[in-house]
Amino acid sequence: MYLIQATNYSLKKILILTVFSIVVLMLFSSFFIIAENLQIRIFTNLKLNAFNVNVNAGTYKIIADGSLIAETKGESMFKFNLKGDSIELNLNDKLIGTFKYIKFSGDDLSELKVKLINPDRKSRIYQNNLSFSVNEGYIRILNEAILDNYIAGVTEAEAGSRSTLEFYKVQVILARTFALAHINKHVTEGFSLCDQVHCQAFYGKPKDLSIYTAIEETKGKVVVDDNLNLIIAAFHSNSGGQTANSEDVWGARTTYLRSVNDSFSIRMPNSKWERKMLTDDWLTYLKLKHNYPIENNNAKNAAINFTQNQRKYYIECNASKVPLKNVRLDLQLKSTYFSISEINKDSIIFKGRGFGHGLGMCQEGAMRMSKLGYKYPEIISFYYKNIQLIDMRKLSFFKDE
C-alpha cells in the first residue's frame, strides 16, 4: 500500500514538473517564435509598375490567389506588370495570368533576385519569401524574412561593408534590438517594418558575408534597460566628441541615452564640417522662422558669435531661444554641434562637429574602438548606460517573473 501511494505521489510530482517545464519552455520560446519571421515592406518609397524576379537559390512554390500555380528553380524569369488593380504575371515572356495576390514561398535558404524595370533600379537579392499585391495604385512587395536574414541586410545597409567583425557584432545587436522593439510599427498597414531609415535601412542580402559570422556569434542577443525593456537602440554617424541626452533631442528622458565624452569619434571622417552663409540670410531666417529679436544688438551678437565647447541645445539671449535641432533640420546641417563666427562683414561660417542626431552609438567611434581591440559588450556599454545584454529567447520569461 505504501509503495502504491509513493508511486502515485511520484507520478503526480513528475506530472507537475513536466507541466512546469512545458510552461517554462513556452515562456522562453514565445518571444523567439513571434520574432522569428518578419514582414518587411521593400522598395517602400517607390511606385512600382514593372519588375523581373528570378530564383537565385533554392526552390520556390508560386501561389496566386490561393492556388499553387508553379514550382520553380533558377532557370525561369518572371515578369510582373501592373494591370489596373491586379498583377499580370509572365513566365519567360509567356502570360500565366492576372492575379490580385502572388506569393513566392521558399525555405530558409531560398533567395530571389528582383530587378525593377519601372522605375529602373539595380538588382537586389532577397532571402526567404516575397509576396506581391496592389496597394494604392501600385504593386506592393513584402519580404517575409527570417529575423537574422533581415538583421544581416540592415547591418550592411546601416554600417557599410568591409568593417571589422567586432563592429558588425555591435551593429547586429543594435539592429536586432531596434527591430524587436518596433516590430509592430506598421502593423495597421499589414506588415512589421519598412526598408526606410525611420525603421531601418534594408536593401536585401548583404555582400559582406562575414556579417553572418557576427550574427552567429551574438545569436539572440538584445539590449535592455534596468526594467528589462528593449532599448531604443539609436545610433548616428559621428558624435563630434560628445553624444547627446535623449531629452535634449527627443524631449523624453531615458536612463540609457545619456551624454558621454567620446574621444573615439575625433579625427574620424565625419568628425568635422563647415558651412558658409550670408549674415543677412542667417539673421533673416532667425527672425522669420523663430521670431528672434535681431534688432537687439546683444541678441544679434549672440547669433553670429555662437560657441559650443560642450553640447548646447539653443541659441539664446534673454528670453529668446532658438532650438538647434530645428536649425539643423531647416538648414540641412550635419549636426546641431556647431559654433558660428564672422568671416567678414557679410558672411558667417558654421564650424561643426559630428554627423547625425548624436544619440546612442557613434558608428565611427565604435569602429575605432573595435580596431583598438575593444569587444562588443564594452563598446555597447560605453555608448548606452544602465543596460544589460540578454538573450531575447529568455526575455519573456524574465519579464513574466
DSSP 134-186: EETTEEEEEEEEEHHHHHHHHHHHHH-SS--HHHHHHHHHHHHHHHHHTTTTT
Q: Extract the C-alpha cell encoding 256.
A: 540609457
What is the rounded distance in angstroms from the CA atom of residue 380 to the CA atom of residue 50?
43
Name the pLDDT band for 130 (thresholds 50, 70, 90).
Answer: very high
CA-CA distance, 339 to 292, in Å (whole number)? Answer: 18
pTM, rounded to two decimals: 0.85
Q: Which three cell numbers mark 115? A: 530587378
Mean pLDDT of 321-348: 95
pLDDT at position 329, please? 95
pLDDT at 278: 97
pLDDT above 90 for 233 = yes
Residue 223 grid coordinates = 539590449
Architecture of the domain delimited by 39-147: Sandwich (2.60)
250 vs 6, 13, 19, 246, 331, CA distance in Å? 63, 53, 46, 6, 19
Tallying the residues shown for the chain, one arrives at 401
Average pLDDT of the chain to the nearest whole number = 90
Confidence of residue 399 (pLDDT cuts 50, 70, 90): low
Report the pLDDT value the prediction gives residue 400, as an integer from 0 to 100: 53
Q: How many angstroms separate the CA atoms of 257 and 302, rounded?
A: 29
Cα–Cα distance between 101 and 87 in angstroms, integer?
Answer: 8
Q: How far apart are CA 356 and CA 362, in angstroms?
A: 9
In this structure, which amino acid lies at residue 156?
E
pLDDT tens digits for range 265-294: 999 999 999 999 999 999 999 999 999 999
Residues 6+ apart with CB under 8 A from 26: none
Q: What is the pLDDT of residue 396?
A: 65
- Indicate the domain borders of the chain: 39-147, 220-266+358-400, 272-353
Q: Considering only CA atoms, which of 63, 82, 84, 81 is closest in space to residue 72?
A: 63
Look at residue 213 in the predicted model and tell me its pLDDT: 97
Contact (CB, 8 A) for 200 and 193: yes
145 touches 127 (CB < 8 A): yes
Please give the grid coordinates belonging to residue 128: 526567404
Residues 6+ apart with CB under 8 A from 174: 223, 233, 235, 360, 361, 380
Q: Which residue type, as a one-letter code, is found at position 382?
A: F
Q: Which of 275, 283, 273, 274 is closest to 346 using CA atoms?
A: 283
Closest CA to 53 of 81, 33, 30, 15: 81
Assign 383 to helix, strand or coil: helix
**Model confidence pLDDT, tens digit, residues 143-166:** 999 999 999 999 999 988 888 999
Cβ-proximal residues to 197 (8 Å cutoff; 6+ apart), any chain: none
